[in-house]
Amino acid sequence: METLSENACFGGVQGVYRHASTACQCDMTFGLFLPAEAKDGPVPVLWYLSGLTCTHENAMTKAGAQAWAAEQGIAVVFPDTSPRGEGVADHEDYDLGQGAGFYVNATQTPWAPHFNMWDYVAEELPALVTQNFAIDSDRQAITGHSMGGHGALNMAMNLPGRFKSVSAFAPFSNPTGADWGRKQLKAYLGTDEADWAKHDASILMAEKGFDGPVLIDTGANDQFIDLLRPEALAQAIAMRRQQAIFRLQPGYDHSYYFVSTFMEDHITFHAEALYGD
């Protein structure tokens, strides 16, 4: 693992690191904020999964998470959204290929060799982070924005017992029922829609739910709200009687202005779960 940068940040350290990924068969870069408490021992960790077109850097520099994470003594990991580099498949559309990994393990040509973001985020990167930094693997939470909110909800429900809490900002809530989702799931996983279901938060919520608290925020003025389909997830939450807070925030859109506005709420929400035992 190579250290690209480490900067003092709210009493802790904001680092950027690069390593050779076995899952993605290329070099991958991630950001990691460690609060001051990490000098004394392992700290809880919040995983932040970013959305379409993003790298590790977008949320790291725009979301405002470090100030609130430092206050709560929580580490934050900012993975990249896809494999990258020479020889990695890409597409002319911004919502497919590099920058648009959708947090799945691709089975189709030309994506399968590198686009294994599920294994990378769920297995490889957590092992690397806990081996090299003061992270308490028994106290993990997960959040994300847009495509990353889709990934966060899916991982939380597909990996029972891993995360104490899950939240999402404007998640792709029902990708099997929207153009944002059907296009990518078909490209990465093939035409059998049964293979798509485990990557649809609304279906997972109806069938499995999450053993812990859930927080969802979406801007009521989100320009992509018809593609996000928050109503599908809200209905699944209500039918399952899931422990959840589901909010439509008036006036807010899909941008990082929206994310940064409600980041304090989300960090506080996760801190309560991470320190609750």
Catalytic residues: 146, 222, 254
CA distance readout (Å), 66 to 20, 24, 42, 46, 80:
26, 28, 17, 11, 17
How does strand 166-169 pair with strand 244-249? Answer: unpaired
Q: CA end-to-end span of the chain, whole Å?
A: 33
Rg (CA), the chain: 17
Q: Which amino acid is at 132?
A: N
DSSP per-residue codes, 22-41: TTTTEEEEEEEEE-GGGGTS
Q: Where are the alpha helices (DSSP H) in 53-146?
A: 57-62, 65-72, 117-119, 125-132
In sequence order, which ranges of the chain are alpha helices (DSSP H)? 57-62, 65-72, 117-119, 125-132, 147-158, 179-189, 201-207, 225-228, 230-240, 256-274
Q: How far is residue 165's CA from residue 135's CA, in Å, rounded to a whole number? A: 17
Spell out a b/e string for 132-149, using b for 16 or more CB atoms within 10 Å of the CB, else e: ebbbbeebbbbbbbbbbb
Which single residue is written with the structure tokens 């060799």? 113
